[in-house]
A and B are shown apart, each in its own frame.
Chain A
Amino acid sequence: MAKFNFNMQMQAIVVGNLSDEFIRHTTNVLGNYELEFSVCPDVYQAVSRLAKTNGNVLIVGRIEQLSRENGRFFRIASKKKAWCCCLTETNSARQYLRSLSMIGTDAFVINEPAEIEDVLARLLQSRDTSVAASSDKPRAMNRDIRLTNEELGALLGNEGTKL
């Protein structure tokens, strides 16, 4: 998992269109935290931006956008030691599992736009406590979908655990 570089400011790359309420909300929150951010319309521009950015980078976007190109974006973000935060607006455990499977590791998964504040708070707190998101599993910020793979497997049967 990416560790916070204390010598550098955090920057954010928001992936999506400003006509999307989640993207607008995210940019407002980032503005409130006085964080530097840029908005990229899609993952292609986001990769271009990410490749030219160093330091602590948080990438925020909807799962549908960030998982394009078979989830390749997450691997590039992981290589660049960037944090990803994906919004997945689904209460379906099956879809949630699929999202987790695609993301792999090192990502925050939220299912409400407002939870972006929790993610930011957690990341910025980690700057002070040196415990920047150290789990090797994706983090679900919402209690309703915070289930283990085993629990989901039990819910979905064998199919669930294969995802």
Chain B
Amino acid sequence: MKNIDFLSAADKPGILLIGDAEKLFSDGQDICGLGVEIRSNILDGIEAAASNAYDLIAVAMSGSSAKLTSAIEALRTANSGSRRAKIILLAQMYQEPTARQLVGNGSNGGGLADDYLICPTSFSSLVAGISCLESRAASDLPRRAARHDDDVVSQRVAGTAGEVQDTRIRELEKLATTDELTGLKNRRYIWEFSRQIIEHARKQPGRVTLLIFDIDDFKHYNDVYGHSAGDDILRQAAVLMRHCCRCHDIVGRVGGDEFAVIFWDDPHRKPTDTEAERRSAAEHPQEAIFIANRLRKELSKAQFPLLGPQGRGILTISGGLASFPRDGSTVDELFDQADKALLDAKRSGKNRIYLVGKPENDIADMQ
């Protein structure tokens, strides 16, 4: 925030924000005095973009991928004058696949949007994004003709510096949300994603199911075969999990040998329409059950070389499945319930996954 406070009015970037600043930015309450124009509705935003020149248009993502595509195309058309604004999407975690698609695809190979930020973020990150994009654009396609070789060099340096900064920001973001050992999402990410997707499912019909499981007797393997064997088990389990889940499911390691998977509706598929459908889906999370069973089967066939000749099919897991809104209406409740089901599964002899509210009802018997 402070980094643009001291700029003169002429130097301040013209920013149009389409969305609710207080919900999008951790420092959203402070941006009012910074000359940012805010529109709450996308149509008002398009109208503003057609009438004024901006350096940056930040759009809070809402609605389907098709709607967003139409809206951003219209923003581009509206802003097709001499001063082409950068369009940055402000995405919730669960909207990242769609954001990536909108940035990556599009006409002219450049993508419909220039970049995206995952919310909640800070307004200063958004402002920092402008300089990165400017520098990147300068290095890719200099908009001003360079008069001397020195100018060309300085533009390239600026571009490189911007790219380095951009890459570092992305790397830091990845480090902050990734489990180093397995490459899966970490606990912090899983927790925040769950919070956001539950909030989303509360407003629009959607299904969210949480699976928490751990590897049976992991401590034993760790103690007997050593920590490197333990690490290897965790890494292989992570690969298997990614292989078994759908690409939009969120898979993470939330503790030592404890993993979590968030099953949710495919963001590219038409959402379910009625509350009744959501309820019935929440009561019978068939897709989640199917995937969890597939994971168990794959694990039962997997070879773990560091566990010696008996390493094939030796590993089993125990877990609990909890669904929103049936088993909990908040992240805490959902995790608590899934944890309890996991404990029940352990107490009942391990190698099973229980649904919340259905003790001693292993999902393996449900297919």
Query: Which residues of A approach B to under 8 Å, CB–CB?
Result: 41-45, 47-48, 50-52, 69-70, 72-73, 76
Residues on B with beta carbons closer than 8 Å to the beta carbon of A76: 43-44, 47
Check if B70 sits within 8 Å of A44, measured CB to CB. yes
Known: A69-B42, A72-B44. A47 touches B50 (CB 8 A): yes
Known: A51-B50, A51-B51, A52-B50. A45 touches B70 (CB 8 A): yes
Q: List 20 additional A-B contacts (Cβ < 8 Å) besides A42-B74, A43-B43, A51-B47.
A: A41-B70, A42-B70, A44-B42, A44-B75, A47-B43, A47-B46, A48-B47, A48-B75, A48-B77, A50-B47, A51-B46, A51-B78, A52-B50, A52-B78, A69-B41, A69-B42, A69-B43, A72-B43, A73-B43, A76-B44
Complex Cα distance, B42 from A69, in Å, reads: 8
CB neighbors of A among B47-76 (8 A): 47, 49-51, 70-71, 73-75
Complex Cα distance, B45 from A48, in Å, reads: 10
Closest to A50 in B: B47
20 contacts between A and B (CB under 8 A): A41-B70, A42-B70, A42-B74, A43-B43, A44-B70, A44-B71, A44-B75, A45-B77, A47-B74, A48-B47, A48-B74, A48-B78, A50-B47, A51-B47, A51-B51, A52-B50, A52-B78, A69-B41, A76-B43, A76-B47
Question: Distance (Å) between the CB of A89 and the closest chain B CB?
Answer: 21
Complex Cα distance, B77 from A147, in Å, reads: 40
Closest to B81 in A: A52
Check if A47 sits within 8 Å of B70, measured CB to CB. no
Closest to A46 in B: B74
Interface of A is mostly: helix
Interface size on B, residues (CB 8 A): 16
Complex Cα distance, B71 from A41, in Å, reads: 11
Residues on A with beta carbons closer than 8 Å to the beta carbon of B43: 43-44, 47, 69, 72-73, 76
Query: Which residues of B approach A to under 8 Å, CB–CB?
Result: 41-44, 46-47, 49-51, 70-71, 73-75, 77-78
Check if A47 sits within 8 Å of B73, measured CB to CB. no
Complex Cα distance, B42 from A43, in Å, reads: 10
Question: Distance (Å) between the CB of A154 and the closest chain B CB?
Answer: 32
Q: Once A and B bind, how many residue pairs between them come within 8 Å at the CB atom? A: 49
Interface centre among A44, A52, A69 (most CB of B within 10 A): A44
Residues on A with beta carbons closer than 8 Å to the beta carbon of B49: 48
Closest to B42 in A: A69
Check if B50 sits within 8 Å of A48, measured CB to CB. yes
Closest to A69 in B: B43
Complex Cα distance, B44 from A43, in Å, reads: 11
Check if A48 sits within 8 Å of B44, measured CB to CB. no
Complex Cα distance, B96 from A15, in Å, reads: 30
Check if A48 sits within 8 Å of B41, measured CB to CB. no
Question: Distance (Å) between the CB of A73 and the closest chain B CB?
Answer: 6
Residues on A with beta carbons closer than 8 Å to the beta carbon of B41: 69-70, 72
Question: Distance (Å) between the CB of A140 and the closest chain B CB?
Answer: 25
Question: Distance (Å) between the CB of A161 and the closest chain B CB?
Answer: 27
Question: Distance (Å) between the CB of B336 and the closest chain A CB?
Answer: 37
Complex Cα distance, B44 from A44, in Å, reads: 10
Closest to B78 in A: A48
Residues on A with beta carbons closer than 8 Å to the beta carbon of B50: 47-48, 51-52
Complex Cα distance, B46 from A44, in Å, reads: 7
Residues on B with beta carbons closer than 8 Å to the beta carbon of A45: 70, 73-74, 77
Complex Cα distance, B43 from A52, in Å, reads: 14
Residues on A with beta carbons closer than 8 Å to the beta carbon of B44: 72, 76
